[in-house]
Amino acid sequence: MRVLVYGAGIAGLTAALELARAGARVEVADPRGPGAGATSRAAGIVTLQMPGALEEWAMEAIEAYTRLGAARRVHGVVVAPRPCVERLLSERLVASGLAGGLTASEASRLVGHEVRVPEGWGAAYTLDALVDVGGLVSALTARLEALGVSLGRRAPSPYEASLGGYDAVVVAAGAWTPAVLGVEPREIAGSSLYNCEASSVALPEGSRQEAILYVESGVDAAYSVPEAPGRAIVGDGPNNVIESPLDAAPTPGAVYQVLETLAEAAPAYLDAYPTASWAAPCLITGDGLPAVGEWVEGIYILAGLDGYGLMAAPALARLLAHNITRGTPLPGWLDPHRRASPWRGEGPPPEPFRGCS
Ligand SMILES: Cc1cc2nc3c(=O)[nH]c(=O)nc-3n(C[C@H](O)[C@H](O)[C@H](O)COP(=O)(O)OP(=O)(O)OC[C@H]3O[C@@H](n4cnc5c(N)ncnc54)[C@H](O)[C@@H]3O)c2cc1C
């Protein structure tokens, strides 16, 4: 079976890997080269603090990236209203030692600076992972080359590609997916485009940042990532909807909102100052769940990965590759046409990821 994959971001690279493993002859086409889109901008967080299927997918991502030598385990400390903390501590994670409750002083020790837990809030940890994104793209590219997958820079349209004799085409072009398909973003499960963004901040002298710190205020989520002692990456500001995937510019206002949110629980952030901001366009579906499956005969989508593409890609790529090569059905709630067609799966669809608000 010959398969052409559009896009060499985390979605396209993992899809190509799974397809090649399933025995397909795979070509990847990306005009910008591997990891040039949102993937190159990702902070590298893979957190188990995700509901339902997303928790499973994050676990699979941690295993896959660790095997590729591109991930290391790190504590994720969440400070949030108590019901939110309880929801995050799934029975399975707690039983397997991957998550647990924390006192404020335990949270402070893990993070490396003082963490306050306001009245009615709680603290917990999960054993998350930080990914070296550049290392991951290189490791995946090397694996693909070893499997005989060709990585090219041309970008034929899917229509021409199907005429060119491919058995299947996978469009994994991130925010460019609607353009590659020649449709409006909303036609793909009610999607829109927005800037995923992050900023690097310097903490006050003497502060360290040793664990990922997530603070949920009920309005938005904030996180920080250890980059170097005294440095952190903060992100997850309010979504900034954009009209065109090429219109990706950081919105410097968001970093101050994130720092304010963090400072509610971690006073060190009161004196943190931004050193750099960056952003890239992401595609988010109307319900926040990815869009994975057949678009028209022989042409498949793996997109809508929002701000959690590193966490979801390996599992979704495996599901899609098995669907293409073995006919294994995909869950109806991933259907890229789901806004236009009624819900077709068994039982209710999983809860979309909306943080703890
Ligand atoms: C600042 C920031 C921080 C983030 N942090 C995290 C994080 O910590 N954890 C996490 O899980 N996720 C994070 N994300 C989200 C994650 O980066 C995305 O969900 C993920 O990278 C999407 O991958 P993708 O392969 O779908 O898209 P992309 O990486 O955008 O790849 C799409 C590719 O398609 C190519 N393309 C465009 N047009 C064509 C064409 N005509 N033909 C062929 N190819 C084409 C592009 O060149 C690009 O390489 C972050 C994102 C940003 C921007």
pLDDT of residue 299: 95
Model confidence at 174: pLDDT above 60: yes
pLDDT of residue 53: 76
Mutate to test the pocket of ligand 1, among 140, 213, 255, 305 (most ligand atoms within 8 A of CB): 305
Mutate to test the pocket of ligand 1, among 18, 48, 183, 310 (most ligand atoms within 8 A of CB): 310
pLDDT of residue 219: 44
Q: Could you say which DSSP state residue 211 is in? A: S
Sign of CA dihedral 89, 93, 97, 98: negative
As a whole number, the mean pLDDT across the chain is: 87
Ligand 1 center from residue 178 Cα (angstroms): 14
Mutate to test the pocket of ligand 1, among 28, 282, 283 (most ligand atoms within 8 A of CB): 282
Whole-angstrom CA distances from 6 to 33, 156, 212, 275 are: 11, 9, 33, 34
**In the chain, % of residues over pLDDT 90:** 56
Q: Residue 278 CA: which ligand 1 atom is closest?
A: 1
Residues 6+ apart with CB under 8 A from 108: 114, 115
Residues within a 6 A CB radius of ligand 1: 6-12, 29-32, 36-39, 41-45, 155, 172-176, 180, 196-198, 235, 278-280, 282, 303, 305-311
Q: Residue 280 CA: which ligand 1 atom is closest?
A: 53
Q: Residue 303 CA: which ligand 1 atom is closest?
A: 26
Main-chain phi, psi angles of 335, to 5 degrees: -50, 120
What is the arithmetic mean of pLDDT over 45-70?
Answer: 90
pLDDT of residue 155: 75
Residues 6+ apart with CB under 8 A from 55: 48, 90, 92, 93
* Long-range contacts (CB closer than 8 Å, 24 or more residues apart) made by 140-147: 140/13, 140/14, 140/17, 140/34, 140/68, 141/8, 141/13, 141/34, 143/17, 143/68, 144/13, 144/16, 144/17, 144/20, 144/26, 144/28, 147/17, 147/20, 147/21, 147/26
Ligand 1 center from residue 278 Cα (angstroms): 13
- Count the alpha carbons within 13 Å of 348 in the hemisphere toward its beta carbon: 4
What is the arithmetic mean of pLDDT over 73-87?
Answer: 89
For residues 69-104, b (16+ Cβ closer than 10 Å) or e, as one string?
A: ebbeebbbbbbbbeebbeebbbeebeeeebbeebeb
pLDDT tens for each residue of 323-355 = 999 999 999 889 999 876 655 555 666 665 555
Please compute Rg for the chain using Cα positions.
Answer: 20
Ligand 1 center from residue 281 Cα (angstroms): 8
For ligand 1, atom 16: residue with the closest CA: 309
Mutate to test the pocket of ligand 1, among 54, 59, 308, 334 (most ligand atoms within 8 A of CB): 308
Model confidence at 64: pLDDT above 60: yes
User: Cα separation of 187 and 185, whole Å?
Assistant: 5
- At 52, the pLDDT band (50, 70, 90 cuts) reads confident
- DSSP secondary structure letters along 117-169: --TTEEEEEEEEEEE-HHHHHHHHHHHHHHTT-EEE-----HHHHHHTT-SEE
For ligand 1, atom 47: residue with the closest CA: 32
User: Cα separation of 25 and 33, whole Å?
Assistant: 19
Residue with tokens 């690279």: 13
- What is the CA 199 to chain-centroid distance, rounded? 17
Ligand 1 center from residue 38 Cα (angstroms): 3
For ligand 1, atom 18: residue with the closest CA: 309
Mutate to test the pocket of ligand 1, among 130, 196, 285 (most ligand atoms within 8 A of CB): 196
Q: Are 53 and 174 in contact (CB under 8 A)?
A: no
Model confidence at 253: pLDDT above 90: no
**In the chain, % of residues over pLDDT 70:** 87
End-to-end CA distance of the chain: 45
Lowest mean pLDDT among 57-61, 92-96, 167-171, 302-306: 92-96
Q: Could you say which DSSP state residue 356 is in? A: B
Better-predicted residue by pLDDT, 347 or 149: 149
Lowest mean pLDDT among 48-52, 122-126, 250-254, 325-329: 250-254
Q: Which pair of structure tokens corresponds to residue 239?
A: 């979504």
Q: Could you say which DSSP state residue 254 is in? A: H
Domains, the chain, in order of start with CATH, read 1-70+132-188+286-357 (3.50.50.60), 74-129+192-284 (3.30.9.10)
Main-chain phi, psi angles of 89, to 5 degrees: -85, 80
pLDDT of residue 48: 87
Main-chain phi, psi angles of 311, to 5 degrees: -75, -35
Collapsing DSSP to helix, strand or coil, 32 comes out as coil
For ligand 1, atom 10: residue with the closest CA: 308
